[in-house]
């Protein structure tokens, strides 16, 4: 069975997303775990201004 995070990442991959920017947090830890196993490049910032 797949987690919600895995399903979200699969949808991002299907849409051709190759890079995401984020500020890590516990609220979407399942998505971060799924991104780790994905070819999508994840750019992590410590605050929103840094991600922009």
What's the pLDDT at 48? Answer: 74
CA 50 to chain centre: 17
CA torsion angle for 23, 25, 30, 34 (degrees, to 10)? 30
Cβ atoms of 19 and 41 closer than 8 Å: yes
What's the pLDDT at 38? Answer: 96
Q: Per residue in 1-52, pLDDT tens?
A: 999 999 999 999 999 999 998 888 888 899 999 999 999 999 888 877 776 7
What is the total residue count of the chain?
A: 52
């Amino acid at each position: 069975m797949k987690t919600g995070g895995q399903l979200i990442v699969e949808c991002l991959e299907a849409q051709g997303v190759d890079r995401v920017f984020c500020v890590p947090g516990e609220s979407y830890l399942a998505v971060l775990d799924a991104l780790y196993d994905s070819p999508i490049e994840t750019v992590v910032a410590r605050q929103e201004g840094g991600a922009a």
